[in-house]
Each structure stands twice: as structure tokens, then as C-alpha cells.
Amino acid sequence: MITLKNISKVYKTKSTQFEAVQPTSITIQQGEIFGIIGFSGAGKSTLLRMINLIEPPTSGEVWFDEVELTDLKLKQLQQKRHEIGMIFQHFNLLLNKTVYGNIEFALKAAGVPKSERAERIHHILKVVELSDKVHHYPAQLSGGQKQRVAIARALVLNPKVLLCDEPTSALDPQTTENILEFLKSINEKLGVTLVIVTHEMEVVNTLCHRVAVMEKGAIQEELTLAQSPTATTSIGKLLIEYREKENRHKQYDIRLGGVIHV
């Protein structure tokens, strides 16, 4: 579904140059939840942002659904971007517009006629369970609610992919859990492919089918979590360890729950 071929990003100033992403290739399958994990400055956000070309790559190709995005004219790229939703750590909502206005902006951007907009907005607000906040401004919402508005804004265009740039890093643990469950259900019920950049083990463990570990601008390893892989990088090892511990906890909780029930 998404293929990055030898994609790289180099930031140049007059005297120095910094390779944020070394030539990297990955393929993301339709319907999967693909994680990119790494420390800050590893280049994971840059890599994600090159998928929809809001960060133009220095070299390499981006393919989406058999179309080379890096080869498109701006107008065609804008069309394709309607199929690639994106959410951010700091939500990036329009603060002078209501919840309704924010979602309507996405529909306007995609050229959806006015007659269809209201129905689609109300429908998607039901999906994210924010129907009662339709006329609120973002400043009147909690962090979790803002992120759900951002998700609604992305989903209202029925994208095939949702790019998530640290979607829960600005949220408290409970809200994080709520948003992660929600993202999972989007993937399962609507079949939306998710690409998630994060530095939180919990996010990867709860959601991801596959994860790429990124360090110093390069993908060090790719792990398929269901296959109990062996990791070689320190982050990968931490992740596996975390996963085993969480799974043990889960079993323990279930057992405990059973005892209480009896």
C-alpha cells in the first residue's frame, strides 16, 4: 500500500549538512498497523512526514496505491492527500473554528459540496462520540477530545491510511488508553491502515502489528510482534521485554479476575 524507496532527508545550511533520514526503504501493507519507534531526533517523524510529502524528501520515491507521489503535480498530490489522513501530537486544530468548522474545513478542502457536509460531519462526530460538542471551540475541550476532533477531521474524508505523529504523547495515561483503543477500532472496523510514530512502548504494544526501530536516521530492525521476534537493538529488546511483562500482567489480571468472580 505504501512503499518508500531509498527515501532520505538531508538538511543543509551554508556550512553544515545533517542527514535526518538516511536512505531508507519500507513497505507497509494494507490494513496493518505499522509502528515507528525511536528516541527523539532519530528521524522517525521526518520519515512519517515524507509519506504524504509535507516534508519533501531529498531523494527517493514514495509510492501509495501504485501511484508515485513524488512524481505528481501539486494538484494531483492534493487529491491523493485526501486519501491519507494525518493526526499530530499537538492536534493542530483551527482554534478560531468550532468542532463543526474544523471538520467542515477538511470537506471543503476536498471539494465536497455544501449539501453533503452537514450529514457527514454529524455522522463522523457520532463515530468519535463528540456529537454534544459540535459547536464548541477547541479551547473548550480536553486533550483527548481535541485529538478525537482531529481524528474525525481526518476520517471524514474516508482515508485509506491514517498517519499518526506521536498521537498520545501530549495526553495523560488514561486518555492515551482511550485514544489507542479508538485507533485500534478504526483499524479493525473501517480497515484503515495506520502508521504510528511514537516513543512510547505502550503504544506499540497495544496497537502495532509490525514495528520499525529507528536510530540515527536509519531503520535498525523491523519486528513482527505476533511472531515473538528476537530483537538486536536496545530499543527492540526493551520493547520485547515490556511486551512479555505486560502479557504476564494481563494473564495474571484475568486469573485474578476469575478468582474474584468465584
Residue numbers at the binding site for other proteins (CB under 8 A): 52, 54, 77-82, 84-86, 88, 90, 92-97, 105-106, 108-110, 137, 139-140, 150, 153-154, 157, 163
Nearer to other proteins by Cβ, of 112 and 231: the residue is: 112
Q: Do the bridges between strand 2-12 and strand 84-87 make them parallel or antiparallel, or are there none, so unpaired?
A: unpaired
Least gap, CB of 187 to other proteins (angstroms): 19
What is the DSSP secondary-structure string of the chain? -EEEEEEEEEEE-SS-EEEEEEEEEEEE-TT-EEEEEE-TTSSHHHHHHHHTTSS--SEEEEEETTEEGGGS-HHHHHHHHTTEEEE-TT----TTS-HHHHHHHHHHHTT--HHHHHHHHHHHHHHTT-GGGTT--GGGS-HHHHHHHHHHHHHTT--SEEEEESTTTTS-HHHHHHHHHHHHHHHHHH--EEEEEES-HHHHHHH-SEEEEEETTEEEEEEEGGG-PPP-SHHHHHHHHHHHHHHHHHHHHHHHHHHHH-
Q: Which is nearer to other proteins, 80 or 243 (CB)?
A: 80
Q: Is the dihedral of CA 215, 218, 223, 229 positive or negative?
A: negative
Least distance in angstroms from the C-beta of 203 to other proteins: 20
Nearer to other proteins, 45 or 187 (CB): 45
Comparing CB distances to other proteins, the nearer of 70 and 205 is 70
CB of 137 or CB of 242, closer to other proteins: 137
Output 113 or 258, the one with its CB closest to other proteins. 113
Q: Rounded to the nearest whole angstrom, what is the least distance from the CB of residue 74 to other proteins in the complex?
A: 9
For residue 137, the minimal CB distance to other proteins (Å) is 4
In whole angstroms, the minimum distance from the beta carbon of 12 to other proteins comes to 13
Which lies closer to other proteins via its Cβ, residue 170 or residue 218?
Answer: 170
Q: Which is nearer to other proteins, 105 or 242 (CB)?
A: 105
Closest approach of Cβ 24 to other proteins, in Å? Answer: 20
Q: Burial level of 191, CB count in 10 A (0-12/13-18/19+)? A: exposed
Among 2, 5, 44, 38, residue whose Cα is nearest residue 23: 5
Query: Least distance (Å) from other proteins to the CB of residue 219?
Result: 23
Least distance CB 188 / other proteins (angstroms): 24
